[in-house]
Every structure is written in structure tokens, then in C-alpha cells.
Structure 1
């Protein structure tokens, strides 16, 4: 067993339990941090969130209706959900304006 540090001895926490606590707290970052960008997601995940097929997402991207955040060296698209949602809302508004 490892010897606890001076600060750990004062608080009664050993290194092992501190490490275990850090592992348990691993997860989604706190929402208090404002300058962190949302994570990039794959086309399948985006399609699931939008209730569309992956093929539809790819088709929209090829037509230029939505733009991926990045394209990997292998040619795969990575998306930011909020950006795509904003683009699709803008398209919907433009479509409604045309048909009035």
C-alpha cells in the first residue's frame, strides 16, 4: 500500500481512494465552462438525433445543404449537432418563405 501524502493525511483520504474518486467523477464536463466547444459526432449519431437516415445526412452534405465541422483524412464527416440544427432551421425558414 502506498503512503498517503501530507494533505491526504490531513483530510483522511488515501491516494487510492482519491484516485478512485477521480475515476468515478469521470464523465460529461461541467456546464459551467463556457468556452468549450460541443463534441464532434459521427453521421450515424447525427442521423439518430435528427430522426433521419445516415444516407440522408450524407446526401444533404453532398448537396451543400449542411456542412460538416470537419472531414477526416479517410473522408468521414464529423458534425456539431447545434451547428447542423441551426442550418436546418434556416433551410426550413427559407423553404417556408418561398412557398408563401
Structure 2
């Protein structure tokens, strides 16, 4: 499992970093790891699954 930064996740999903941060604040997605400095690391496939489970519109993609 390769973990990516928030910016890399946003690029992979075709959205802004702000969208990723908003989804995290709203509890739609959770990072695999948060560094001691507060930076999140994500598994792209896991985030896609979380979005599909929590947001019916994401199934349209």
C-alpha cells in the first residue's frame, strides 16, 4: 500500500486540496496515518471506497 500526501490525493481524484480537507473535516474520509507534524497520508483506493460509501453522487463517476 503506497500512501500519498493530501496534494497527491487531490490530484489523483481530480479535485482541489480544499475539497479533500473539507471531506476530512466532515468525516467522509479518514487518513491512514497522521504524522507528528499533523500531515495526513492517504491510501487512494481506501478513500475512493469511503467516498462511495458516504456520498451517492461519487458513484456516478
TM-score with structure 2 length normalisation? Answer: 0.85
Question: Aligned residue for 2:28?
Answer: 65
Q: How many residues align?
A: 57
1:11-22 → structure 2 map (5 Å cutoff): none
Question: Aligned residue for 1:85?
Answer: 48
> Which digits, 9 at most, give the CA deviation of each residue in 1:1-50, with x for residues without a partner?
xxxxxxxxxxxxxxxxxxxxxxxxxxxxxxxxxxxxx1110000000011
Measured on the aligned residues, the alpha-carbon RMSD in Å equals 1.2
TM-score with structure 1 length normalisation? Answer: 0.54
Question: Aligned residue for 1:46?
Answer: 9
Question: Which blocks of at least 5 consecutive residues in structure 2 are unaligned?
Answer: none
In 1, Cα distance between equivalents of 2:21 and 2:36:
16
In 2, Cα distance between equivalents of 1:54 and 1:80:
15
Bigger Rg, which one: 1
Moved beyond 6 Å, runs of 4+: none
